[in-house]
Every structure is written in C-alpha cells, then in structure tokens.
Structure 1
C-alpha cells in the first residue's frame, strides 16, 4: 500500500483528531496519505477533492460511521479500491472496525494480510418521457416516498418485462442485501445475507396488507412508474441525495457493474455484527 486516502465525519471532532493521528502513523511507515480537502483544511494541511481521491490510492480509510462510509462508497464508484471503515461510536453494520482495532487493522492491511467483502451496489435512473433526468449509484437503497401531506401513491411495478403489481402505499424501498438492514428492515422487509445475489422491493405502509416485500434476482431490472397528480413525491438515494418526482416518471433499478469492497474485521463476522446491533439474545 503506497497511497491511502483518508475521509472523516466532519461534524465529529474526534474523527478529525483521529484523522491527524492516522495521517502521522501512516507517513511514519512510508505511506503517502491523501486527505479529503475539507478534512485537510480543518487540520491546516493540503488535501484533495473527495471525488478524485479513489482513483489515486490503493485503499480508503473512513473515520466516522455507516453514513460517512456510504457517502464515500458512492465516490469510489466502480473502482476496485477497498474501504476500511472505522466506527468512532457504537458498532456499525458497515464500519465494523472499532477505534481500538484501527492500528492493528492498518498493520494487517499494509502487510497484505486482510480480506474484503464485495458488497453489491445498485444503479438507478429516473426517466421522464424519453429523457434521462438523473442517475444514482447506491450501496443501501433507493426510496420513493410521499411528502408529509401527500396521499397514498400508486406505483406500477415491473420486473424485467413482467408486470408485478401496482403498489398503493406511502412509498417503496428497493434495497441491496447491504441495505436490507436499513430502512427496509424498519418497513418490515427481510434481512438478506450480503453474499446473496438478489435485492428486495418493500412497500412502505401499503394500503393492502397482502402487499408484502418481494426478493428478486440481481439479474433483474425493476421498473417503477409513479402515478400521482398534485402531490409531493421524491426519490432519495442512500438517504443522502435525491430529487422531487413528477407524475409519470419512471425509476429503473438494476445491479451495478461493480460492488464496494469493504475490509473485513478479523475478529467479527457478519452474524456477530448483526447480533450485536439488533441486540439478539438480550433480555
């Protein structure tokens, strides 16, 4: 590892402090460190735009939580650059490595003794007539949701060329296996092992109780046409970016060409993280 990029949760002073310590630790071992620009400015150092760093490094270190990692994963995009996520608070679903494990984990990475989990990402495009309006790459989910005062939305759903149903609901979640433990779980959807080749379509507060989440192959293309008039409806990507929709807009979601490579914790497996986060077995 000759070059490592470092990102941090800027609203967390501890993350900025740890970033400075990581920077010094890596440089003392002959590693060139590329700090995200705003983070570097907080440290009175020079940095690089976040979107340009992944193409210049062998590894990205993210200091913060799952939300910070998800944001960085979108910037990494198709590049086969592993992400080492360090959670500075409670254990995260994605940021498995704790602060106490940070430097031993970095030692293993520098010596090449680490493994990664390849997490599927989703590509989503919004079409309005023949025009492509916007395109998103997400690690967790795409969500179509109504505004606070809007009525139930009709969402006509197709899987490839087969009509699925018209959901009448407050919204719809299309989640990857990684995203199955996020909004999908809160909406009553299933937990999906991140190694499985599928994604899930989950209605939010459906009008018909028989409208249940459905898992589809990762080779499928899910197409949703939203049908409404005079309502506030929006699409959000990973809960972080999005835009308003218009009646008749079509949202297409499919598996992305490449996934996100997450450096695995050597001390915790996926099911231990799941047990801990969801407090299974506690009384």
Structure 2
C-alpha cells in the first residue's frame, strides 16, 4: 500500500482531528495520503487532490461521515475497484460500520492486511429520450422516479426483460439494490434484502391501486419504465444525490452493473446487529 485517499463529511467538527491522527499513523508507516481540498486547508497540508482524482492515485479509500458521504464517494471509486473503509461520525451506519472509537485499531488491522472485504452490487441506469441515451449513471443504492410537489399521479409502464409487468399509477417508483433496500425503499414499504442476495427491488411510491406491492426480481433482469404525465415536474433521482428532469415519454432503464463497490467489513459486528441497532428491533 503506497497511498491512502481520505474523504470526510464537509465541515464536520470532528473530521480534522480524526484525519490528522490518520495521517500521522500513515506517515509512520511511510504511506502517502491524499486529502480533499477542504481537508487539506483545514490541516494546512499540501497533500491534496480533487475529489475525482484521489481514487486514481490511491490504493485504499477512507471515508469519514455517514452513509450518504460514503455513497457519494463510492461513485467516484467504483470503476477502480479500490476498497473503502467507512468510519461513521454520527450514529452507526448501514455502510459506515466503524465507529470513531474503533478507528485506531481498525486502521492498524487494515495497514497490516488483516481485514475482510464485502462487495455490493450496483446499478447501471440509462435515461432514454426518443430512443437516445441522454443520461447514464452508475449507482449504489437506488434509481427513483418521483413527482414534484404539485404534480399529478404518474403513469409508469413497467417491463421486466421485455415482459410487460404493469402500469403503476403512483407518486413514483423505486428500483433498488439490496444495499439500497434499507433506504427510500424501506420507507416506501419495500422489503429489506440481505446484501449478499443479488436482486432488484421494484417498489411503487404511494400507489393508486392498493393491490400494487413491491416485487423482487433477479439481478440479471432489465427493468424498463416508460413515464407518462401531464405536468413538467417529474424527476429522476439516483442515490438520493444526483438527478435529472424527465419528459413525457422518457424511458428509465435499470440493470445490474458490472461495477461493484468494495467495503471493508467491521470485525466487531455483523449485518444483523446493525439492523437491530438502526431499526431498534427488540425494543418495547
């Protein structure tokens, strides 16, 4: 390991101190580091690079923040198959499993190669307009079609592998990975999918028909959604962070990506412990 790239939730008060400690530990092991510009400024360090450049020059990525911070970094890191160590600066996260207290010991384990990696499936999403791709994205969590505040119900004609499924009449539609199943999908009434089970979850948002229910399909499936609406306030959102306006007749096409996100696992807890902690299972 020659270089470690470090990202942090911008302007988080704990981040500079934690990053300084990480950098000191790396320097003792003759390992270089690269920081986001705002971190470099906070630490008065010249070892900085642009957010999209850091992964190309790193062998390991450390992310300090919450799940949202890690997801945004994952889209930069994924094409290079670099492992990510997620450190949570708030409450325990689904993806940022390591606590601040655990960080020193975990960093030592990582630097000596004593760690396990789990890989997460991702989505390739295309927005087609009159048959031409106008937007192409790779996402970790979910692809969402959602109406604006004053828009009417959207008609979303949905096909799986070319086979007509149904036309959802709803406020929107979510196509989620197992990783994203604990996000917007869960809030919309969708199921929790264990990350090791590669699949796609199709979940309508506030469907007009009460008989519409979430559907789990194979990760090898291609989900195509043709949108029809009379208002001009319907949006596509990826991972809850990036998006685009849709036009009537647009098609949103979702499939499993060949890219994967590689996360360093916590040795102190498993996925089910995280579920219990985050969702308060077992509490009265």
TM category (shorter chain) comes to over 0.9
What is the total number of aligned residue pairs between the two structures? 283
Q: Counterparts in 2 of 1:1-283, with a 5 A limit?
A: 1-46=1-46, 47-283=48-284
SS where residue 24 of structure 2 aligns?
Answer: helix
> 3-state SS of the aligned residue for 2:276?
helix
TM-score when normalising by structure 1? 0.98
Moved more, 250-259 or 11-20: 11-20
Deviation at 1:37, TM superposition (A): 2.4
Which structure 2 segments of 5+ residues have no match? Answer: none
Q: Distance in 1 between matches of 2:9 and 2:21?
A: 15
Alpha carbons 2:152, 2:231 under 8 Å: kept: no
Larger deviation: 53-62 or 43-52?
43-52
d(CA) in 2 for partners of 1:139, 1:91: 19
**Superposed CA offset, 1:80-118 (max 9, x none):** 100000001100000000001111111111111100110
The alpha carbon displacement at 1:21 in A equals 1.9
Instruction: Give the Cα–Cα distance (whole angstroms) in 2 for the partners of residues 32 and 9 of structure 1.
Output: 21
Query: Offset of 1:55 from its aligned partner?
Result: 1.9
User: In structure 2, what is the Cα distance between the partners aligned to 1:67 and 1:27?
Assistant: 28
Alignment RMSD (CA, Å): 1.0
Q: Residue deviations 1:47-80, cap 9 Å, x none?
A: 1111111122111000011000000000012211
How big is the shift at 1:243?
1.0
